[in-house]
């Protein structure tokens, strides 16, 4: 077969050399290539002018469209031009080796259109996020990312089906085979499908988003969400290690999202000595007044300061309140300030914070000898 094709080409070349057909054919191909080069030159000029004008507008849609079209348009022009040149060669030479040009052209054009649409989706996604962040407006990055991924997958699947239909494949037969084969694939890749649908549930239910702090005691998961993919979610732990969690895990465990808390709680039990019993009521009232006047304590939340119980070696006071801030570092600064002020209030009454002690009583027996009897206090 190959020998016949080479022989056919050799015959055509021999025939050209004896006439002006070779020169005419070369000129035709040269003109086609030149036309492609000129067309690309003007296309770039037009795109540059459109880009300079789009920079002056406030919307990001035109910028995304022009940036997405720049490379695919150039390649489409070359595909069409070169395929036309090859068709000229095929007509003049009648070489069957060049019959592949039509499928290549179809695949190339469909691929470039797909590339353009995917680039446009990516640019719009980045533009929406950048514009919202520049204006300090709230933006759900997870939702934008999920919509972008769904659109890209839809475009790719559509492009594959269109290309196969254009190449003569039966789409109905392919879909029928896919329905039968899908059952086998679902059994073989059940973990992969579980992770896919787990990621889909994350996008729909949105229990957490990128940048939020999550934790789960069921699997010892804790850290900041960096990326939510279709199969894995990447979490950066607080010791800066990357943690990759399959999305299917999140459908089986309870996940806590501390980033969405409205307040942080201060819950402490502080004990004073039994010797300071007479001052307990006044200490409780002063602590409560201090918390009511503290600028970082949320007065709309529960605030409790009470004498709680008689402990083994202390009179226990319960402090229960909420801070306005939810920031971890700021919360600890507020908590430190509250605890120090409580200590100062206790000191104003010459009282002391209790610690475990043991009181020893010396008891003399009938012979005048002393015995030690420990009594907890």
Looking at CATH, the fold of the domain delimited by 190-259 is given as SH3 type barrels. (2.30.30)
Strands (E), the chain: 213-216, 221-228, 232-236, 242-246, 264-272, 304-310, 315-323, 358-364, 370-376
- Where in the sequence of the chain do the CATH 2.30.30.60 domains occur? 190-259
Looking at CATH, the fold of the domain delimited by 262-348 is given as Alpha-Beta Plaits (3.30.70)
CB 313 within 8 A of CB 293: no
Residues of the chain with pLDDT under 70: 1-26, 28-30, 32, 54-55, 87-101, 139-140, 169-191, 193, 359-377
The sign of the torsion formed by the CA atoms of 350, 351, 352, 353 equals negative
pLDDT in the model for residue 287: 94
- Tens digit of each residue's pLDDT (9 = 90 or more) over 323-335: 999 988 999 999 9
pTM of the complete model = 0.56
- Tens digit of each residue's pLDDT (9 = 90 or more) over 126-144: 887 777 777 777 766 777 7
Q: What's the burial of 257, exposed, middle or buried (CB within 10 Å: 0-12/13-18/19+)?
A: middle
pLDDT in the model for residue 154: 83
What is the spatial distance between Cα 111 and Cα 113, in angstroms, rounded to a whole number? 6
- Where in the sequence of the chain do the CATH 3.30.70.100 domains occur? 262-348
């Amino acid at each position: 077969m190959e020998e016949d094709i080479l022989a056919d080409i050799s015959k055509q070349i021999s025939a050209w050399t004896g006439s002006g057909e070779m020169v005419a054919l070369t000129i035709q191909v040269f003109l086609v290539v030149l036309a492609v080069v000129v067309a690309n030159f003007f296309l770039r000029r037009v795109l540059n002018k459109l880009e300079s004008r789009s920079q002056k507008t406030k919307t990001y849609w035109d910028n995304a469209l022009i940036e997405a079209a720049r490379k695919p348009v150039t390649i489409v022009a070359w595909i069409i031009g070169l395929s036309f040149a090859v068709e000229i060669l095929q007509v003049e030479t009648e070489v069957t080796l060049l019959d592949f040009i039509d499928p290549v052209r179809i695949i190339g054009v469909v691929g470039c259109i797909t590339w353009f649409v995917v680039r446009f989706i990516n640019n719009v996604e980045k533009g929406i996020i950048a514009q919202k962040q520049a204006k300090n407006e709230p933006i759900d990055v997870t939702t934008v990312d999920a919509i972008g991924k769904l659109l890209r997958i839809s475009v790719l699947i559509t492009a594959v089906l269109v290309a196969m239909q254009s190449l003569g494949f039966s789409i109905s037969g392919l879909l029928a085979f896919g329905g039968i084969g899908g059952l086998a694939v679902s059994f073989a890749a059940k973990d992969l499908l579980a992770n896919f649908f787990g990621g889909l549930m994350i996008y729909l239910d949105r229990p957490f988003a990128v940048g939020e702090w999550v934790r789960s005691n069921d699997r010892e998961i804790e850290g900041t969400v960096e990326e939510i993919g279709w199969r894995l979610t990447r979490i950066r732990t607080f010791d800066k290690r990357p943690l990759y969690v399959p999305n299917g895990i999140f459908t089986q465990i309870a996940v806590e999202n501390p980033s969405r808390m409205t307040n942080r709680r201060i819950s402490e039990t502080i004990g004073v000595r039994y010797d300071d019993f007479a001052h307990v009521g006044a200490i409780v009232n002063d602590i409560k007044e201090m918390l009511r006047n503290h600028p970082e304590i949320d007065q709309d939340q529960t605030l409790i300061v009470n004498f709680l119980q008689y402990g083994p070696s202390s009179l226990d006071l319960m402090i229960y309140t909420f801070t306005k801030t939810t920031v971890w570092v700021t919360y600890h600064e507020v908590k430190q300030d509250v605890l120090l002020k409580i200590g100062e209030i206790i000191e104003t009454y010459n009282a002391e914070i209790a610690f475990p002690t043991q009181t020893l009583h010396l008891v003399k027996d009938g012979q005048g000898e002393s015995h030690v009897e420990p009594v907890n206090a």
